[in-house]
Amino acid sequence: MAAVPVLDEARFGYLKPTDVARLAEAYRFSGAAHAGQTRQSGEPYVSHPLAVAEILAGWHLDSQALMAAMLHDVMEDTSVTKAEISDTFGKPVADLVDGVSKLDKIEFQSAEDAQAENFRKMLLAMARDVRVILIKLADRLHNMRTLAAVAPAKRRRVARETMEIYAPIANRLGLNELFHELQELAFSHTHPMRYRVLLKATRSARGNRREVVGKIEAAIKARLAEAGVSAAITGREKHIYSIYRKMIEKHLSFSEVHDIYGFRVVVKDAPTCYLALGVLHGLYKPVPGKFKDYIAIPKANGYKSLHTALIGPYGVPVEIQLRTEEMHRLAEAGVASHWMYKSDVDSLSELQKKTHQWLQSLLEIQSQSGDSQEFLEHVKVDLFPDEVYVFTPKGRIMPLPRGATAVDFAYSVHTDIGNKCVAAKVNGELVALRTELRNGDRIEIITTGYAKPNPAWLQYVRTAKARSNIRHFLKTMQYDESAALGERLLEQALKAAGHSSSEIDAESWEHAIRDAGAHTRQEVLADIGLGRRLPAVVARRLLRKTEREEAKSGNSKGLPASVVIRGTEGMAVQLASCCRPIPGDEIIGSIKKGQGLVVHAAECSPAKRSRHNEPDQWIDVEWDRQPSRLFQTAVRVIVTNQRGVLAKVASEIADAGSNIDAISMEEDRAVFTTMLFILEVANRQHLARVMRALRRLPEVEKLARARE
C-alpha cells in the first residue's frame, strides 16, 4: 500500500498560523477515521480529502471550508457522527460536512430517486451556504482527475453526471476554469476514442499553425503599442469539448473548425477595452454578427468581457476576448473570488447578488416541487449556459435562457404576473405567449384578474421558475377541484348505503383519515376525486359504527344516486376523447387513478369493454339540466371533391352557431374527400341543427357523428 501523504502547510500559507494548526488537526482526525481504507487506485483514502482541501486552498477559501473538505467523507464512510464533528471543530464545520454528505442511510425506491434526493439536499444546503457546493465541486474535480481507476460502467455514469450537473453549476457560479476542466474530463470518459482523436488532431493543427499564430500575436502587440494601449496578450486554445460541440452542432469536420486558437487581451480598465477593440477592428476585418458585449450586459454568472472574431492573415479566423484584470479574476474564479480577492468585495457585490438570487430561487422551486426528481429536472432546466437579454418596459435588462418565451419573462418578473398573463407585446406588437424572445426585445406583459396558467404552457416554457410555478398552480387547482368532486362522489356512495354525510360524526372521520394514512379530511376527498381511493370503500369505513345495527334490522341499501355533470368541474372531471359525449347522450363515469372522473357515452365501445372487466370502477352519472358551456364533438363529412367545398361547409357550420375547433382531411381522392371536424355544440339538439344544415348542401354525400 502507498505511503500516507503528508500535509504540506506551505500550500495553506495565506491562513493564520492558528487556522493552519486547526487544519492539521482536521487532517489527523480524517486520517484516523479513514484508517485502513483505500481508494480504487490503492492509495490511502485520506489522500482524497487532502487533495480536495488543496484545490480549495487554490481558491483561498477560509479555514472552516478547508476543515470541512478534510472531513467531508467521514460521516458517509465511517462511524463518525455530526455531533462529534461539531464538538471537535464547531457547528459551522459540521453543517458544511453534513451538506456535502449523501443520504446513503435512507432507503429509496430506485437509484434515480436516491441520486435526485442527494442533489436536492446538496443544492438546498448550498442555498444556505455557497461553500457547500464549492467543496462538492472540488471533491468532484479530484474524483474526475482520478477516474481512470474506476470500473468502466461507473466511470461513464460519473462522467455523465458531471457533464449534466456539476459542470453547469460551476459555470453558473462563474468558475470558468473549473467548468472547462470538468467538461474536458467528462468528455474524455464518456467518449474516450473521440477525445483521443480530437486531441491528436488539435496538437497537429497547433504545430502547423504555429508560424501563423506567432505572426498574428506580434501584429496585435505592435498595433496596440502604436495606439498607446498597454496590454497583456496571451494565447487561448479552444477546449477539445467545445471543438467537438461545434462540429456536432454545425455539422462540420475538424478541418472546417478553423478558430481553435484565440487571444486574450487584458487591459487596465473598461474604457481601454473598447479602445483596444477599435484598434483590433482596424487591424483585421471583424466577422459580422460575432461581436458580443458582456461588459455592458454581463452574463447571469457575472462574467464580463468583449468578444470579437476577426479574419486574420491567410483567411484564418481569430477569436479575441478583451477584459480588465478584475474581469479576468472574476471569469476564472467566479464566486470563489470573494475569498481570493477580498480587496475587491465592492466590485463583486453584483455577482454575489445574482448568485444569491439564483440560490434563493432554488428554495422557492423546492417548496413547489412534488418530489426530488421533479426538483432536479427544474434545476437542470435552469442551468443552460446560453442566454438572451431582453428589456422590461422601464428598460431593466433581464437575462433568460435561449429559447425562453413571453411566459418565461412574465414569471421572471413576478409569479403573480406569470399566473395572470393573457398576452404579450414584443417591441410594441402583440404576439402569442409562446413566442421565443430574442436579444434586445422589449417585452410588455398584459394581465387580467381572472386569468390562470394554461397546462399547455408546460410544453414550451424554458425556465425552471416558470415550469415550477405553473405545475404548482395546476396541482393546487386540481387538488381543490378534486376535493369538491370527491365530496360529491362520497355523498353518492353514502346515499347508496341509505345514509348522508350529515350523519357522519367527527370520530368516524378521524378513524377513516387514520386508516387511509392521510392527514386531513380534504386530503381523503381529493384522493377520491383523483381516483386514488374508491368512494364506496371510504363510505364503508365511515359507516362502521352503524353496519352491525343495519345488518340486524335488515335495512337494505337505497338506490344509487347519480353524480351530476355540469361541464364546469375543471380538471377533476374529463370528457372521454374516444366518444366525446355531449348533453343529451346517455353517459357513464369511470374513476381513473390520477385522472379523476372520466365521462363516456353509454354506447362507447371501449367503455363497454372496460365496464365489463372492471365493474367496480364505474358509477352512474347524468347531465345537469342546464349545462353552462359548449362541448366538443366529432363529425365526419364526405363531400364531392370540388373547389371551395371546405369554405361552404365551414360557412354552414358557423351559420348554425357552432365553432370549429379542429379539422383534418384524408388525402384527396378522384371523386370524394373525407373531412373530420371537431365542433363545439351545446347539446344533441344543437348538433342536430348543425347536421341538418350540412345535409342541405348538394356537395355533401354523407355525414355522421364520429366515434373512435
Q: Which residues are marked as active site?
A: 76-77
Q: What share of the chain is helix, strand, coil (3-state, %, to 5)?
A: 55, 15, 30
111-136 burial by CB neighbour count: b if 16+ within 10 A, else e?
Answer: eeebbbbbbbbbbbbbbebbbbbbbb
Distances (CA, A) of 317 to 216, 256, 258, 262, 290: 11, 11, 6, 9, 11
CA distance 345 to 335: 11
Distances (CA, A) of 177 to 168, 297, 315, 331, 332: 12, 21, 30, 8, 5
The angle formed by the CA atoms of residues 276, 280 and 282, to the nearest 5 degrees, is: 120
CA distance 365 to 352: 20
- The SS3 call for residue 105 is coil
Burial class for 458, CB neighbours closer than 10 Å (0-12, 13-18, 19+): middle
Nearest to 280 by CA among 237, 210, 220, 216: 220
446-456 burial by CB neighbour count: b if 16+ within 10 A, else e?
Answer: beeeeeebeee
Cβ contact 163:186 at 8 Å: yes
- The SS3 call for residue 633 is strand
**539: amino acid identity, one letter:** A
Please report which helix (H) or strand (E) contains residue 704, including its range.
Answer: strand 700-705
- The SS3 call for residue 523 is helix
How would DSSP label each residue in 552-582?
HHTPPPPPPPPEEE-S--GGGEEE-TTT---
